[in-house]
Amino acid sequence: MNKELIKRILSSIILIPLSLFFIIKGSILFILFISFCFLIIAYEWHMMSKKNHFYFYGFMFLILSFLTIYILRIESANYIVTLFIVTVCVSTDIGGYVFGKLFKGPKLTKLSPNKTYAGMFGGYLLSLISVTTIPFFKFDAMQLNEFLIVIAISSVSQIGDIIISYFKRLSKIKDTGKIIPGHGGLLDRVDGMIFAFPFTFIIIYVGLF
């Protein structure tokens, strides 16, 4: 096991329970938590893209993304949806990383050279396994619409990861920061989530979830 993977595992052991606490607790604690995360991510985006033409648009999107996170958790007063999105995104990221390292194979896109087809399917597989085995979601037998929603959120999360990777390449950097050992910046960790939350907000708004 290489040092980078050990760092990722140790960071996840700390970050995942901490994030779960704030998501489930809600109230002012969750608001403070996502506000702190927003400030870090906004700073990382500023440092990464301050010389690029997409700088302003990125800030606008970050504000929109965190607004949907706030609405889905605080205004709905239900942590299950927020926890569901986070679970799908984290599982997609872990599945993509593990399967990509194990099976390698053809590259998925030139926009993000490290992404492979094996990683993509690994992300789908682990996200489906996660939501059907975690008791919070009570999926005894997954229905077709639930299956499609998981696949859709996982797809958006992976697309978000690729988009941020593309912006990092344009900015000629490997990571958006160094705050999380093994992961880089906080934006590196939640790049899929900041796209998945607005997407899920839309499908809830139109009545598909």
Confidence check: pLDDT of 180 > 60: yes
Contact 94, 126 (CB under 8 A): yes
CB distance 95 to 123 below 8 Å: yes
Task: For residue range 63-102, list pLDDT tens digits in order.
Answer: 999 999 999 998 876 889 999 999 999 999 989 988 988 8
**For residues 77 and 71, is the Cβ–Cβ distance under 8 A?**
no
Identify the band that residue 164 occupies on the pLDDT scale cut at 50, 70 and 90. very high
Which whole-number Å values give the CA distances from 140 to 98, 131, 133, 143, in the listed order?
Answer: 26, 10, 8, 9
pLDDT of residue 71: 94
pLDDT at 195: 97
Confidence at residue 2, expressed as pLDDT on a 0 to 100 scale: 59
* This prediction's pTM: 0.91
pLDDT number for residue 207: 79
User: What is each CA distance from 204 to 1, 43, 81, 167, 201, in whole angstroms?
Assistant: 41, 30, 10, 29, 5
Give me the percent of the chain exceeding a pLDDT of 70.
90
The number of angstroms, rounded, from the C-alpha of 187 to the middle of its chain's C-alpha atoms is: 9
193 touches 23 (CB < 8 A) = no
Q: How far apart are CA 130 and CA 135, in angstroms?
A: 10
- pLDDT of residue 43 exceeding 90, the answer is yes
For the residues of 167-194, what is the DSSP string, one character each? HHHHTT-S-S-SSBTTTBSHHHHHTTHH
- CA angle in degrees (0–180, nearest 5) for 62-63-69: 90
| Cβ contact 186:40 at 8 Å | yes
Query: Is the pLDDT assigned to residue 182 strictly greater than 80?
Result: no
φ and ψ of 168, to 5 deg: -65, -40
